[in-house]
Copies of this chain bind each other. A is one copy, B any other.
């Protein structure tokens, strides 16, 4: 059961260690007969190279670090699942870290990854430009960084996310199509992407000659403690409802906010979609099972993960990274209309 080494294979075949090593690495220096012989025995003995030794020698680890806010979030869990598949495809391992939206935790996560040894870091930053100096310095030296999801960072590297402006713009248009013109926008505090989503919101209204009421753009708590989010959201929604400019639609810009709105409106005996239509960003499976089922803006998690990982591999495999053609990639979202916007 113990792991077999090159040395043991060498002894058994009466060859040198380097011959074995070269053969298994398919070097041109080795004759095909010896290769075949060696491979056969390696197979038989179930030889598995010792990763620690290999990477000590090569200065690579085949580990990619991923830092997200929290795995307890359907969207991020989906991204991680997809990245995981990508990692396996490329023969890399994923080391997962969570920042819980805190810059300190995030720094600690980065340090842990560095310490453990990773060839690169994929990160969805705690917030806009969190740990930017550290990341910049890493990216300029030995540890390439790729940013995904929360891509409003000044770091000069690949950034893979969605077109936030366009996504919200289109969602507003959908609401206008069902004659809902008094739309409240729920935003996460401190998240860089909120700004673009707000722009999309404002522009869509302007393009349709509607007035913008600043009170309709609501900043909500977005920690990862669900009770706090609920409490805060309840207050904010109550304010909206009781204002003179009462909304007839709500657009949520984060997964957590979106899925929580329905419960709160139900508590308040407000019917959806009759009184208020609801739509928002969410990648949770559960939107189908909500009552009413929830219309959503769906992010292409698999594509995001795939591209981000692809770019990471590209960086890892490139000697002269300065010469790479760095760019941001903005993917399209899709809108899934369900009962929460089904107004006839």
Contact = CB atoms under 8 A, between A and B. Distances in A.
B81 A1 contact: no
B95 A95 contact: yes
Contacts of A263: 288-291, 293
Contacts of A88: 112
A286 B288 contact: no
Interface of A: 1-2, 48, 50-53, 55-56, 61-62, 70-72, 74, 77-78, 80-81, 84, 88, 93-98, 112, 114-117, 137-138, 141-142, 226, 230, 259-264, 266, 284-286, 288-293
Given A94-B96, A290-B291, A51 B81 contact: no
Contacts of A98: 81, 84
A138 B2 CA distance: 10
A288 to B, nearest CB: 6
A48 B141 contact: no
A127 B112 CA distance: 34
Contacts of A114: 48
A82 B55 CA distance: 29
Contacts of A264: 289
Contacts of A53: 52, 56
* From A55, A70, A226, A291, residue with most partner B Cβ within 10 Å: A291
A259 B137 CA distance: 45
Nearest to A285: B226
Nearest to A94: B96
29 contacts: A1-B137, A1-B138, A2-B142, A48-B115, A50-B117, A52-B52, A52-B55, A52-B117, A53-B56, A62-B116, A70-B81, A71-B81, A72-B77, A80-B96, A84-B96, A84-B98, A93-B112, A93-B116, A96-B96, A230-B289, A259-B286, A259-B289, A260-B286, A260-B289, A262-B289, A284-B286, A289-B290, A290-B290, A291-B291
A192 B293 CA distance: 32
A4 to B, nearest CB: 13
Count of chain copies: 2
Given A286-B259, A289-B264, A141 B1 contact: yes
Contacts of A117: 50-52
Nearest to A97: B84
Nearest to A261: B289
Contacts of A226: 285, 288
Which 10 A-B residue pairings sit nearest by Cβ, starting from the closest?
A: A263-B289, A266-B291, A52-B56, A1-B141, A226-B285, A291-B291, A260-B289, A52-B52, A71-B77, A52-B55
Nearest to A284: B286
Given A226-B285, A263-B290, A263-B291, 16 more contacts: A1-B142, A2-B141, A48-B114, A48-B115, A51-B116, A51-B117, A62-B116, A71-B77, A71-B81, A72-B81, A88-B112, A93-B112, A96-B96, A260-B288, A260-B289, A263-B293
Contacts of A81: 70-72, 98
A62 to B, nearest CB: 8
A5 B207 CA distance: 61
A269 to B, nearest CB: 11
Contacts of A55: 52
